[in-house]
Structures are given as structure tokens and as C-alpha cells.
A and B are shown apart, each in its own frame.
Chain A
Amino acid sequence: MSWFQSVNTKDKMVISSRVRLARNIQGYPFPGHMTNQQAAEVISKIGNVLGRNGFDQIDFKSISPLQAAAYVEQRYISPAFAKEKREHTLFLNEPCNLSVMACEEDHLRIQSIEPGLSLEKAYANAISVEEMLDAHMDIAFDKQFGYLTACPTNLGTGMRASIMVFLPGITFTGHINSLSSQLTKIGLTIRGAHGEGSEAQACVYQISNQISMGLSEEDIIKKLNEVVSMVVETETEAEKELYSRSHDQLTDRVLRAEGALKYAYMISSEEFMKHYVQIRLGMNLGIIKDIPEEQFYPLLIEVMPATLCQLSDEAIGDDARRDRARAAFIQKKLSKETE
């Protein structure tokens, strides 16, 4: 089961925790300056170690654009990695909670994702991959700069820790910009988790560390955990305020959204996202009680275009057919409430 299908219902506003470590191998230029032969050598070194440790190697030359898009939607790779022209490879483990991008901006981008608020676990898992590799190659490191990375913005720990959160209350009460400027002041950043422009629609954001130098990994994780629990408290307050301020309108919107998802014959990604926000907010506020969280929460990723095709075992190129398949998929999942 992938990370987005295992639900941690304890943290209603926290979707997932992710840790990404940027690492490079001593003796090679950074990927932007490598020859194809050097890149192939680096990938083979990495593959030798990861292959023995339960990782599958996914060669981007042989997979379809649809499969590549599904990896982006499921956050195993960056959009830039999917489009990369140079030699590059993805390594993915069996439970699909660990991925390694070889030859992205750095030789290694080790990424670990866990459902809910679980940065410590995500960090420990990512470090276990670093240790596997460190035993067989020299990781580029400097006493002053820490882990050496192609871009100095990643120096130091080479770590980007991020927590994906669902914040409809803060969004609808108009406080997202204020939250963003306060986070910037303490070296953190918040951005839409579904690509540019979609964040307002989905109310899903990613809060992550901006600074990777001068703080230890533990300090970064501690700071993010503290900040996210404060954000979650604020979100709870904002949702309550929204509910008390406009009880009838909000209840109407939530129930209409539920009706749309349950009975629509065709539904686009954008329309789904709009209803998803209302229903999940309604579940938080107790307006909707009969939709199981474990069935509903994962829809956020499951019905994205490429992932939907992957889960339906069919490459659906036609938009209208895909919208029909999406509506059917959602209804099948929601009907499980009565099973």
C-alpha cells in the first residue's frame, strides 16, 4: 500500500510527513556538469547497493509519460526529474515509502514519506538509506559546509523536511498570506502542495524548512513539529469560527458537495478538488459522519489523472472518459461506507 493510501486518522489536518536528503558522491562533478558516462557510472554504483536492499530500479527511458506523471502525482519524483533529458533513474522500495532519485540536481535525492505527522520516522528511514550507501561510497562532506550539494541553498544538513497539511479554515478566513509571512520570518516556508495555482482550490499546503545550514536535523524537525501543531490548533479554531459564523451556508455547501461526489456521472479533477475540500471540512466539523476517513482521504491522490489510470489499469487519454472513470471510482469508494 502506498503512503497516500495508508491513513493516519489521528491527525485530521496533517496528510503526510516527508524528508528529503540531498547527497553527492565524492570524485564526480554534480549532475549538471556530468558526462552521460559519468552519470551511468554513478547510477550503477547506487543501483548496486539499492538493488541488494529491496529497491526496484525504474528506468525513465523505458516508462510511458503516463507512468512518469503518476510518479510525480504520488510525489516520488519532482516534475523536473520526469522531464530530465540526461541519464537519470528512480529507485523505489517495496512498501513505496522510500524513493531515491539518482542524478537529479544532486547525485542522490533520498526521499522518505510517512502518512500523518511522523517526521522522526521519515527522517530515520531516509538516514537508513544514506547509511546503506555511505558504506559503499564516499559521500561528499565538508566540516564547514556539511553535506556538499550542487546548489548552496541545500548545504549543511542537505535536508528538506516538509509536512503536508489541509487548511480550509485558515484559507477561507483569509489568513494564509499572514501565516506565510510569519513562517518566512522563522526560516520556514508554506506553498501549495498541488502545483502552482491549485493550492487555494485544494487547501492543501506544504510547510517546510527553508534553511538547512546552522541547525541540526533534530532542531529542524523539532521546529517544524512545534510550528505545525500551532498551525493545526489555529486551523481548528478557524474551522469552528467559520462554522459558527455561517452555519447554514457551510452545511449546505458540504452536503451539496457530498451529493455531487455521490451522484455525478462525470467529474473533472478541478471539480473533484472543490468538493473534496468541502466534504473533508464537513467531516472535521462533524457535519458528515458516515463517510469513512480511510476511504475518503486517499482520493486526493487516487483520482489525479495519471494515478487514476494506473489504479484502473487503463491508459485513458480522452478527458471525458477519464471524468466518467473518476466519478465511478469515487462512487465505488464512497459506497464502502455501507458495506
Chain B
Amino acid sequence: MLCQKCQKNEATVFYKEVLNGKTHSYAFCPACAAQLYKDGEIQDTSFDFSDPFDLLSGKPFGLDNLFSGLFGVPQVESSNGIGKTVCPDCGMSVFEIRKTGMAGCPKCYENLRDLLTEMTRSIHGDVKHVGRVPGKLQEKYNKDGKLDQLKSELKDAIASENFEKAAKLRDEIKKMESDGQQKNGDASKEEL
């Protein structure tokens, strides 16, 4: 049987994955399997790809992560189409997060946003925080919220051809944005 990835070498590594209750089987040559593991595409850390027979020893059976498969998440794709599977800040892979149900660092949520958004949806049925904001960020988020609201009102005004209102809203938005830029500029000067 040929490796499903390179289609050249003999497949000696057989990999099974259960997603949403469905079992998917793959067969790879040791070199491709090692590369996929390195890229975080396949998950078992007990595998030693220098010796494919080590697969048989596997890792001990346990129920610790029985339900982690419930967070069946599709391959995370970045905008350029290349799968992003590891958090560059802490090295936590998509598979580790799915397996343990835990993130590695706060930055995982930014770096692997698509994956964690899907996990959050399956847990909470919602993906948007609506509660408290830490004190230091309150001013910023209140302003962001106000800007979003003005932009949405502008859209409505244009759609209903209320151009007078639209012009006023546009000026207000511009003023808020330029105030923000000014403030950011001042802050970076202070930092220097």
C-alpha cells in the first residue's frame, strides 16, 4: 500500500482518528508520518517514527480524554490556505488542544482562533463574550463598541438614502478614529 501523502513510498504507519463519532483511517510512510507529526497534523506523542514498529507499543489506554473527541474540529485553515496547527507562542498543537481540551497559553486563543472558536461553540453554544471587561481595557472597548454602532447606523442611513444623517455619522466616525490614532501616537511617543 502506498503512502497517502507522497504516493511514492510504502505505507507502514497506520493512523486512525475519530471525529464526531466517525473513524477516519490513514496510511503513511515513516518519513511523511514524521513530518505530519512535526507539523501537528497527527497527534500521538508516544510514537517514535524512527521505528515504525514502536506504533504497536502505543500509549496506555485510558478514559482521561474520552470526550475530547466531542470537540471534533475541522482542520484550521489560515487565510492563505496553509493549515496553521501549532501555537507559535507556546508550541501547543491543535491536536494536543483537542486531545486535552485545554489551551497552552493565552496567545493560543489568538493564534488558533478558528479552532478555539469552534470548541467554544460546542461547549457554550455561543462564541461572543458579553460581560465584564478588565478595568484597563474598558475605555478602549467602550469606544470600539460605540464605533461599531456608528458604522452600523451609517450603513442603515446609506441604505435608506438618508444622506444628511450619513454625512454626520461619517464625520463622527472619522473624528473618533483620528482621536484614537492621535492618542496611540502620543502613547508611542511616551514609550520612546
Enumerate chain A interface residues (CB-CB to B < 8 A).
24, 26, 28-30, 32-33, 127, 130-131, 134-135, 138-153, 155-157, 159, 211-219
- Is B58 part of the binding interface, using a Cβ–Cβ cutoff of 8 Å? no
Interface string of B87-129 (1 = CB under 8 A from A): 0001010000000011111100110010011011001111111
- Tell me the complex Cα distance, A328–B104, Å: 50
Partner of A144, one of B102, B128, B131: B128
Determine how close the nearest CB of chain B comes to the CB of A122; give it in whole angstroms: 15
Contacts of B144 in A (CB 8 A): 143
Task: Provide a sorted-by-A list of 7 A–B residue pairs whose CB atoms are within 8 angstroms.
Answer: A135-B135, A145-B116, A148-B103, A150-B102, A152-B101, A153-B123, A214-B124
Contact B103 A214 (CB under 8 A): no
- Tell me the complex Cα distance, A159–B106, Å: 17
Contact A30 B103 (CB under 8 A): yes
- Tell me the complex Cα distance, A134–B137, Å: 10
Residue of B whose beta carbon sits closest to that of A123? B132
Overall SS of chain B's interface: loop
Contacts of A134 in B (CB 8 A): 134-136
Residue of B whose beta carbon sits closest to that of A151? B102
- Tell me the complex Cα distance, A289–B90, Å: 61
Contact A211 B136 (CB under 8 A): no
Contacts of B101 in A (CB 8 A): 151-153
Contacts of A152 in B (CB 8 A): 101, 103, 116, 119-120, 123
Given A33-B90, A138-B136, A143-B144, also A216-B131 (CB < 8 A): yes
Contacts of B104 in A (CB 8 A): 29-30, 32-33
Contacts of A156 in B (CB 8 A): 124, 126, 129-131
Determine how close the nearest CB of chain B comes to the CB of A112; give it in whole angstroms: 15
Contact A140 B106 (CB under 8 A): yes
Question: With contacts A134-B134, A140-B106 known, what are 17 further pairs, Cβ within 8 A?
Answer: A134-B135, A138-B136, A139-B134, A141-B137, A143-B144, A145-B109, A148-B106, A149-B103, A152-B103, A152-B119, A156-B131, A157-B129, A211-B126, A212-B124, A215-B130, A215-B131, A216-B131
Contact B103 A213 (CB under 8 A): no
- Tell me the complex Cα distance, A300–B135, Å: 39
Contacts of A127 in B (CB 8 A): 132
Contacts of A155 in B (CB 8 A): 120, 123-124, 129
Contacts of B141 in A (CB 8 A): 143
Contact A150 B103 (CB under 8 A): yes
Contact B136 A216 (CB under 8 A): no
Contact B130 A142 (CB under 8 A): no
Given A30-B102, A131-B135, A141-B134, also A146-B129 (CB < 8 A): yes
Determine how close the nearest CB of chain A comes to the CB of B130; give it in whole angstroms: 5
- Tell me the complex Cα distance, A140–B109, Å: 10
- Tell me the complex Cα distance, A147–B141, Å: 14
Residue of B whose beta carbon sits closest to that of A216? B131
Determine how close the nearest CB of chain B comes to the CB of A296; give it in whole angstroms: 38
- Is B167 part of the binding interface, using a Cβ–Cβ cutoff of 8 Å? no
- Is B133 part of the binding interface, using a Cβ–Cβ cutoff of 8 Å? yes
- Tell me the complex Cα distance, A214–B116, Å: 15
Using a CB-CB cutoff of 8 Å, which residues 133-153 of chain B contact chain A?
A: 133-137, 141, 144
Contacts of A146 in B (CB 8 A): 129, 131
Determine how close the nearest CB of chain A comes to the CB of B34; give it in whole angstroms: 24
- Tell me the complex Cα distance, A217–B101, Å: 24
Top 7 nearest A-B pairs (CB, nearest first) are A214-B126, A146-B129, A140-B106, A213-B124, A216-B131, A29-B105, A157-B131
Contacts of A130 in B (CB 8 A): 134
Contacts of A140 in B (CB 8 A): 106
Contact B119 A144 (CB under 8 A): no
Contact B92 A33 (CB under 8 A): yes
Contacts of A142 in B (CB 8 A): 106, 109-110, 129
- Tell me the complex Cα distance, A186–B38, Å: 42
Contacts of B92 in A (CB 8 A): 33
Contact A213 B132 (CB under 8 A): no
Contact B132 A29 (CB under 8 A): no
- Tell me the complex Cα distance, A144–B112, Å: 13
Given A141-B133, A141-B134, A157-B131, also A213-B102 (CB < 8 A): no
**Most A Cβ at <10 Å: residue of B92, B134, B135:** B134
Partner of B127, one of A28, A30, A213, A218: A213
**Most B Cβ at <10 Å: residue of A130, A134, A141, A216:** A141
